[in-house]
Amino acid sequence: MSCIVANSLYKSYGSVKAVDEIDLSVKSGQVFGFLGPNGAGKSTTIKLLTTLIPPTSGKLNILGIDAIKNPLQVRNRIGVVLQQPSYEPTLSVEKSLEKYGMMWDVKRKERKDRVEELISVFDLKDIRKKRNEDLSIGQRRRVQVAREFMHDMELLFLDEPTVGLDPNARRQLLDFLKSKVNSGLTIFFTTHVLTEAEYICDEIAIINRGKIIAVDSPDELKNRFGHAKTIKIHISEVQKKISDLLSNVKDCKIDFNTGTNITINSDESEVVLMKILQILNTNHINIEDLSAVPTSLEEIFLKVVGDSNASSN
Ligand SMILES: Nc1ncnc2c1ncn2[C@@H]1O[C@H](COP(=O)(O)OP(=O)(O)O)[C@@H](O)[C@H]1O
Ligand SMILES: [Mg+2]
């Protein structure tokens, strides 16, 4: 079952197409990652999906509800952590959690239990009596995300939840989110940190300039775009004649740093490699080292975003 279905969802601010006719289908029980560079339209998408702003046009169904006609029904069943901080400066950490639980009508006993659980899970013991205004940015972010778990929800939206967190707190948060998904929660979260998307997401959409340019599992994204490998060939001697020999081979670059280095960067790197090996062999040139640099999600991301920019320019 899909708990988010968007069709041609569109939001413009003057001439800026912040979200440009996107289609989305997010299955229940998964972590859906929304990945894109700054200004891509991630936050605007989250605000649209959570009914905080209305779309300029398009259709949106959240948890089976027409979200444009019935935004309040949607809001009762979801959790949202926006990018901008929201806290009452003079409230202590534990009071913030407590108060948020009251806002959501969580019963007293349940509220107490949850406050204690979250203080432990989010490592807030040492700061539980501190006022929000006295916390570091990372601590505030942790409290802001923790607070959302004071109430039950079916679907949680997180806009760059790990910004400002140290690696430990980041990992702890991601693992906590995973555990919640294992017990039935669906999470839609945005990030510009690729390793984090790879770590936690079942599916990833890449957004650039308001448009979704790829949607797939992390593994499939690698399969689809990862064939563009970088292969490096090293020859110990400086052999200037190699430049001439390879002058007709596309997608390879030669430099003479320590010896001769040939770098192949191609969608068909295997084919280019074979051509080069053939030429080197014919000319009795020995190769010292041959290595393939594995494609990371980061390279795929840069390539996909780069291609989409090139085709729209
Ligand atoms: N309230 C607004 N008024 C005018 N322009 C906006 C507003 N919100 C977002 N934008 C523009 O929409 C685009 C997408 O922004 P945003 O959704 O915040 O991107 P991201 O979260 O991916 O960094 C940007 O060009 C941004 O300047
Ligand atoms: Mg944003």
Q: Whose CA is nearest to atom 3 of ligand 1?
A: 13
Percent of the chain with pLDDT over 90: 62
225-to-199, 201, 267 alpha-carbon distances in Å: 18, 18, 9
Model confidence at 102: pLDDT above 90: yes
Q: Whose CA is nearest to atom 27 of ligand 1?
A: 39
How many A from CA of 40 to the centre of ligand 1?
A: 8
Nearest-angstrom CA–CA distance, 241 and 46: 56
pLDDT tens figures, 264-275: 888 777 788 888
> Can you state the percent helix, strand and coil of the chain, rounding each to 5?
40, 30, 35
CB 101 within 8 A of CB 111: yes
Structural domains of the chain ordered from first start: 2-217 (3.40.50.300), 227-294 (3.30.70.250)
Nearest-angstrom CA–CA distance, 89 and 292: 52
Model confidence at 239: pLDDT above 80: yes
| Residue 207 Cα: closest atom of ligand 1 | 22
- Ligand 1 pocket list (CB less than 6 A): 13, 16, 18, 36, 38-44
| Residue 159 Cα: closest atom of ligand 1 | 21
What average pLDDT does the structure give for the chain? 90
Give the model's pLDDT for residue 305: 77
Q: Whose CA is nearest to atom 7 of ligand 1?
A: 13
pLDDT tens figures, 297-307: 666 777 777 77
| Residue 44 Cα: closest atom of ligand 1 | 17
Helices (H), the chain: 42-49, 71-75, 93-103, 108-121, 137-148, 167-182, 194-200, 218-225, 241-245, 269-282, 297-312
Closest CA to 180 of 227, 124, 117, 224: 117
What's this model's pTM, rounded to 2 decimal places?
A: 0.79
Model confidence at 194: pLDDT above 80: no
Nearest-angstrom CA–CA distance, 105 and 128: 22
